[in-house]
Chains A and B, each alone.
Chain A
């Protein structure tokens, strides 16, 4: 029997960027907030002395252990899905800070086109441009409306960047100047300039200088140590929740963080269409608790947000047969259709590639969003072409070899030693679309340690993913050739989604919009069906944008925080629903 606790104003489920931002904003606004986090409370001291490739990059130390629960996966609707069992196969954030502790820091705003992809595609190319099987949707919010929230997130996070020559002119400068330019970045910028493209330094969640954010949290200048993505920062030089919004929230007595609290249900009063709180298990004792609250916020990563709604019976589950229902609909993400490009090997040059930072890099956005004419192209959307210098340790370096290198033995050893630090990779951060046949629901066969069904992902590529990948690889090859590599190799493009959930860019399923028939939340991420339930995070993306998702998740969290305050003052729905038939 669950122990019922005292009611609070707001209960937050999951403390990554989204939950951390909501926690900080609600705490600052004087609300009584309880944040429930499944993992432990880690901070900077957990990462000092931890520059260890095997532990973090090969064994995924700070990713969610999958022993209790995971996601099951399949391509086709009729198939039996299998559980993703190992962390080699799926990397999810864990502990306080979530995936934002191990993120790399690459920061791009989405484009005006990305937020109104359907309207603007029709406007420029006509409705026929949109394939029949694609659920292309506007977000119910415009870039102009998002701009102040991006600005707020960027200042809180202390992003280091410079104006992208093709992007909308920034109202405010990036809070910090860009990171240093290294020889590989310079090579990329020179080559892309020669080709008439518009290179710039990628904006980074790695600090180019010491910085104090508007909440008074201090971040230090990045040391370019290379132990960055998949690692927590030992120097508070990477912008993450444990260096920013979590300490901000913890400064307030009206905020409480409870860790090792595994939320199993949102408690729901169907008569009044109100969430009444959540039920969770203290994973250190096995005790069950009910935490009542006036407002419930789900901010526990896209997968968990979807699964908790399904387990709690809130909202209508999407059914691909009838194409009705919204929970689990428009599941999308940058899987193995994105991040392909070209590799170049330089026989007479070695770069200091063991140095680096997560978001140290250069990019061009000439092929992002709708910045280029798609009239004669067999896809819509786009992405950045990037060269990144993450910093590779020895295990990783040894795999960066030309494709004709044997996989083991004498010649493998010789070649892998020779080519270490000689290989550069550029890739296309191609968008990924949503389709009627890709969705999330509960798995009929596999359960977690409490006996609850796992989440099931059904996902396969559309033609857009295949075609955009091919386009990106060709563009990357041209650039790599201009960079003067002795060997240039195009990445092999996959035939189909391979059930590898790497990179953390999994989104959708509880998408935002202005039509309750095709979206689950409004543009404050408030559920259409349940006024006091906010579902915050990448789960709100109707389809993927041109770039890495984090800044947009951060901006949407600030938008949601504003909405929650507004709801607590005024009550009711914060946005007007427009019902229209997309396929009329």
Chain B
């Protein structure tokens, strides 16, 4: 039943070819690295059809875009975040960890709308960086400006969509944004890049409740145990203690 709905989603989306392309280019689809597991996971974040476990289905029902309206913007975001925190032999990258959904949820809330930020003018957006964020644009708008410009640069420089480029080509574009070589309206491209980088890393390592760090795999990679009442008995231990992580949900005592 759920599968059927998800399959419907699958057929409506024309970008599957580009994602397969991405997998092929990255060497994952060749089956060498981790084969089907990686493939299932990567697709899982978008299409979810391959995975069947109940808990996964529930979690995946929470993974829909709420801030980004255009799928294209979201896809650019996803592939850019994957280059910042890529899949490797240590474990999953940004896409499999749910980072694009994390960023989407952040931008849909007070953070994206700058609700706790001083937003009165006059504005001098070119002074961003030197004086922190000085844009009239809120963070969500900065993301939209930046991602659409990435797509534009991608078409201009390489003749295809960002999501369809080779990893190295994607990096080349990201480096231009990082170095503030791209002109954006109302914000420096380097400011956009820093927000993208910062939120990508936050999505990898913040509690799964926010939509990233899927199955606490970010924490497992970095051997971070999550919240605990305390470490009074372990604090003076000589050896490094590697613990199974605990989520905020478990720490708070589970469901009401």
Contact = CB atoms under 8 A, between A and B. Distances in A.
B116 interface: yes
Interface in A52-82: 52-54, 58-59, 65-70, 73, 82
17 contacts: A54-B207, A67-B115, A83-B120, A85-B117, A86-B118, A222-B230, A223-B230, A224-B231, A224-B232, A224-B235, A235-B230, A355-B234, A395-B201, A398-B222, A408-B197, A410-B88, A414-B88
B29 interface: no
Interface residues of A, number: 64
Interface string A20-60: 00000000000000000000000000000101111000110
A447 B65 CA distance: 37
Interface stretch (B39-47, B52-60, B124-132, B140-148): B124-132
Interface residues of B, number: 58
Contact of A499 (B130, B219, B237): B130
B235 A499 contact: no
Contact of B222 (A355, A420, A446): A420
Interface string B225-256: 10111111011111011000000100111000
Most buried by B among A53, A68, A73, A227: A53
Contacts of A221: 232
A421 B118 contact: no
Nearest to A87: B116
A67 B119 contact: yes
A82 B227 contact: no
B154 interface: no
Contacts of B119: 67, 85
Interface in B118-165: 118-120, 122, 124, 127, 130-134
Nearest to A49: B252
Contacts of B237: 183, 352
Given A394-B205, A499-B131, A67 B224 contact: no
Interface in A459-518: 498-500
B248 A52 contact: yes
Interface in A157-205: 180-183
B207 A225 contact: no
A355 B242 CA distance: 12
B134 A85 contact: yes
Most buried by B among A85, A183, A350, A412: A85
Interface stretch (B5-13, B17-25, B68-76, B78-86): B78-86
B62 interface: no
Contact of B117 (A66, A224, A420): A66
B172 to A, nearest CB: 12
Contact of B171 (A394, A409, A421, A446): A409
B230 A58 contact: no
A352 B228 CA distance: 14
Given A73-B131, A86-B133, A393-B224, A350 B240 contact: yes
B132 A499 contact: yes
A352 B241 CA distance: 7
A565 to B, nearest CB: 39
A409 B81 CA distance: 9
